[in-house]
Amino acid sequence: MISLIKLDAAFGKTLRKRRLAKLLTQEVLATEANLSRAYISDLEIGKKDPSLFTVFKLAEALKLKPSTLIDEVENTI
């Protein structure tokens, strides 16, 4: 059974990997997704868990389908 802590960590790892692959800073991603840089940081370290709306906003900012982001998270777990 998956835990929220493990899921948050996997999401953070995936988000950071995708952000760095696009050569984006946390600040730029935050601006593109209309979120704060601190929130992006918290997501990447697994401190916060994103809402579905946030996942969609981040995927759009990264020019990905939300399902691509979610599939990568699932494969990380």
CATH number, domain with residue 34: 1.10.260.40
Show the tokens assigned to 64.
């990905």
Q: What is the predicted pLDDT for the residue at 69?
A: 96
**Domain that includes residue 26, residue range:** 4-76
* d(C-alpha 70, C-alpha 25), whole Å: 21
Per the CB < 8 A criterion, the answer to whether 13 and 47 are in contact is no
How much is the pTM? 0.94
Angstrom distance (rounded) from CA 34 to CA 12: 18
Total number of domains constituting the chain: 1
Residues of the chain with pLDDT under 50: none
